[in-house]
Structure 1
Amino acid sequence: MRVLERNNVRLSGPEGAPPMVLAHGFGCDQGMWRHVAPAFERSHRVVLFDHVGAGGSDVAAFRPERYSSLDGYAEDVLEILDTVDLAPVTFVGHSVSAMIGALAAARRPERFARLVLVCPNPRYTDDGEYRGGFTSAEIDELLETMDENYLGWSAFIAPTIMGVPDRPELGEELTSSFCRTDPAVARHFARTTFRSDNRADLARVSTPALVVQTREDVIAPPSVGAFVHRHLAGSELVTLDAVGHCPNLSAPDQLVAAMRGYLAA
């Protein structure tokens, strides 16, 4: 099917098992789940995919007008779910994909059983008492630097995002992932991501959710995780004893344990 090729969809695990979709964050691809997906492949039908422009996706499918907001990515998710035609899924979204999943669930709640939102951020720019992690000037500078030297920006920002300087190999891996993403698409996705404001959309989500936060995260500070938890009715909040924005790489055992505990409950 065209949708499966567009998003490089991969399925594993027993047919008929409860479905779980794992969605990667900005600058990444489905390989970011390689330490998490195997933990669920015996108990779940696991669905992995790449956002358009990332990994093995079809870059030719990129349309600036479609992806000018996160709604376009949410529509992709819904098209994937309609194509694989599985039962209501547990959707695990990392970083910006947490909000993409929330938008999709708000639009089509019947497709979602639960959400697991890993380091979500509905608005990256500070606004009054809300602290998203960046000032408006900092976001402008970040995007300008990407335009001027995307590869240099990737090498600089990836270790900061990863947040574990004692494990430089993880920062190097994230840098490599950024560099595999089509630069033009990455710059567009960055603008869509970092200028988004989906705080009001949280009230539209009725799907039960687990919010997973690390104790230190420069991209999605703990206060943002608490904000998401407060504004998602019936949600739960877990703070991992880990640092950085990518616990799926830096603390996968903790993330898997939190997910298993939530799903078992």
Structure 2
Amino acid sequence: MDVARRNNVTVTGNPGGRTVVLAHGFGCDQNMWRLTLPALVDHYRVVLFDYVGAGRSDLSAFSEKRYSSLDGYSQDVVDICEELDLCDAVFVGHSVSAMVGVLAADRAPERIGALVMIAPSPRYIDDDGYRGGFSEQDIDELLTSLESNYLGWSAVMAPVIMGNAERPELGEELTNSFCATDPDMARVFAHTTFLSDSRDDLKTVKVPTLVLECTQDAVAPREVGAYVHQAIPGSALVTLDATGHCPHLSAPEATNEAITAFLARLR
């Protein structure tokens, strides 16, 4: 298995610095980190990749069975870490990738030494005593709409997810990213993402962790950030002065400042 080709792995930055792995969320690819890279490359070795089905990944490597659970995506992360022989890397995961990072750190603790979780959600559906932001009916309707017309769904949902309606170019970028993702593979990833429940997995986190949330986020409300923070002992919670679910695009300066301050404390 050619892991580098499968996940379109890119390595850049300072080869002598600590490794930072950047993991994109649903419907995105590694290009979404372009505004984060300038804040990291001088001091850190940076690894980027695309999940299978996204960006320039090897589509022939897709397996619905493997990617019907977050375990499949976390195994991809572990494979990449092993291929590059990473040790004590910092895993930065956006949205669902934050939970993928939790699973990967538990699976290969020697490979991942810290976590940065950007707009994480361990469960999107509300439950007794837990607010995920969506009812079960909301998610059923979302997935039904996605399956019936993925491109139409993307055009409607991407701007909602991005937020920042006064900056339509951001919503357009996310729409284009969604539309560039293989629809069948996106369907599997969407089901895996929006039906996941990783709350119990948060208990396994034993590494320094930064949780980043936005003041307003249609996908991961602030109750979710508080829940993740409380579930991970010793974690730090930073509320960014940002709206939407993709602060690394909508508020890169604030996001980068929070990430680099956390990285500096790890030294």
Query: TM-score range, shorter-chain basis?
Result: over 0.9
Q: CA deviation at 1:16?
A: 2.5
How far apart, CA to CA, are the structure 2 residues paired with 1:226 and 1:110? 28
- Does the 8 Å CA contact 2:87/2:110 hold for their aligned counterparts? no
Q: Which amino acid aligns with 1:88?
A: D
Aligned twin of 1:258: 258
Q: CA deviation at 1:86?
A: 2.5
- Does the 8 Å CA contact 2:125/2:136 hold for their aligned counterparts? yes
Q: Which amino acid aligns with 1:111?
A: R
Aligned twin of 1:125: 125
Unpaired runs of 5+ residues, structure 1, are none
Q: CA deviation at 1:13?
A: 1.1
Q: CA deviation at 1:85?
A: 1.1
Q: Secondary structure at the match of 2:211?
A: strand
Aligned twin of 2:216: 216
- Does the 8 Å CA contact 1:88/1:112 hold for their aligned counterparts? yes
Deviations 1:121-174 (A, max 9, x none): 000000012010100000000000001110000000011000100000000000
Aligned twin of 2:89: 89
Aligned twin of 2:162: 162
Q: Secondary structure at the match of 1:52?
A: coil
What percentage of residue pairs aligned between the two structures are identical?
58
- Does the 8 Å CA contact 2:20/2:47 hold for their aligned counterparts? yes
Aligned twin of 1:204: 204
Q: Secondary structure at the match of 1:78?
A: helix
Unpaired runs of 5+ residues, structure 2, are none
Q: Which amino acid aligns with 1:29?
A: D
How far apart, CA to CA, are the structure 2 residues paired with 1:194 and 1:88? 29
Alignment of 1:105-124 (within 5 A): 105-124=105-124
Aligned twin of 2:45: 45
Q: Secondary structure at the match of 1:109?
A: coil
Deviations 1:192-219 (A, max 9, x none): 0000000000001111100000010010
Aligned twin of 1:28: 28
Structure 1 moving runs of 4+ over 3 Å: none
Aligned twin of 1:9: 9
How far apart, CA to CA, are the structure 1 residues paired with 2:143 and 2:87? 39
Q: Secondary structure at the match of 1:67?
A: helix
How far apart, CA to CA, are the structure 2 residues paired with 1:262 and 1:158? 29
How far apart, CA to CA, are the structure 2 residues paired with 1:117 and 1:245? 12
Q: Which amino acid aligns with 2:71?
A: D
- Does the 8 Å CA contact 1:74/1:104 hold for their aligned counterparts? yes
- TM-score w.r.t. structure 2 length? 0.98
| Aligned alpha-carbon RMSD (Å) | 0.8
Aligned twin of 2:63: 63
Q: Which amino acid aligns with 1:134?
A: F
How far apart, CA to CA, are the structure 2 residues paired with 1:109 and 1:239? 27
Aligned residues: 265
